[in-house]
Amino acid sequence: MATKTTAKPAAKAAAKPAAKPAPAVKEAKEVKEVHELAWTEGKGWAVKRQGSDKVIKYFKTKIEGTEYIVKVAGNQGTRVVIKLKNGKYQKFENAMRALSYAKEAKDPD
């Protein structure tokens, strides 16, 4: 008995459309839920969100900046970080103690 071999048609290559290149995505900086008070040379004490380059407000004295940052952080429910002029971080308790001393000296009873 003779066997018939039938030729199978070649599998068609699925023609896929060329993949579109992914759009360029700008890498956004992670802005944290922290407000930062830091010294800016020539401009004074700057209040900004940590991780952001945009300054919210400048102050001549650290006491004014501390008062403002505590108020803003309380309204927005964020934490406060204070950097000294040398770049080291100050403990928040020490900053609040200094703020209370300054208020007492300003308003003697």
Looking at the structure of the chain, the number of domains it has is 1
Looking at the chain, list the stretches that DSSP marks H as alpha helix, in order from N- to C-terminal side: 62-76, 92-106
Residue 7: pLDDT over 70: no
- Strand arrangement, sheet containing 34-40: 55-59, 44-49, 34-40, 79-83, 89-90
Assigned domain for 50 exists: yes
Q: What is the pTM of this model?
A: 0.64
Assigned domain for 99 exists: yes
pLDDT band at 4 (very low <50, low <70, confident <90, very high): low
Domain of residue 39, residue span: 34-106
**Mean pLDDT over the full length of the chain:** 80
Q: What is the pLDDT of residues 76-95, one digit of tens each?
A: 888 999 999 998 998 888 88
Assigned domain for 10 exists: no
